[in-house]
Amino acid sequence: MPKRAGKSRFTDVKADAQKKLTDEEWLRDIFEYERTHEIAFASPRALVEARLIAELDKARRPHRRAHRHGAAHRRKVAAH
């Protein structure tokens, strides 16, 4: 494979990672991470409540049995 004339993209990423962030940029990055990864910052109680709500929603839905042995659902015949 021919080599590219410029630097590789890995050195560019490394240079960006070593760049010093200002306090404001650092705080903004933390808040953005917290906003996009809510589950990592949730309290254990909130996680338990979320699981409970999900289970209650699941129980509330009608439970439909799968058709046995692939048999088709019978439809009522319309009266003529």
* Residue 27, domain member (yes or no): yes
* Residue 66, domain member (yes or no): no
* Residue 80, domain member (yes or no): no
For 16, 22, 50, the CA distances from 6, given in Å and listed in that order, are 16, 29, 50
* Residue 5, domain member (yes or no): no
Domain span at 41: 20-60
Q: What's the average model confidence in pLDDT over 63-69?
A: 60
Condensed to tens digits (0 to 9), the pLDDT of residues 5-59 reads: 555 655 555 666 667 889 999 999 999 998 898 888 888 898 899 899 999 988 8
* Residue 56, domain member (yes or no): yes
* Residue 28, domain member (yes or no): yes
Domain count for the chain? 1
The reported pLDDT for the residue numbered 49 is 93
Position 76 pLDDT exceeds 90: no
Distance CA 3, CA 26 (A): 36
DSSP letters for 16-38: HHHSPPPHHHHHHHHHHHHHH-H
Tracing tokens 């306090």 back to the chain, one arrives at 23
Read off the pTM: 0.35
Distance CA 30, CA 20 (A): 15
* Residue 77, domain member (yes or no): no
* Residue 10, domain member (yes or no): no
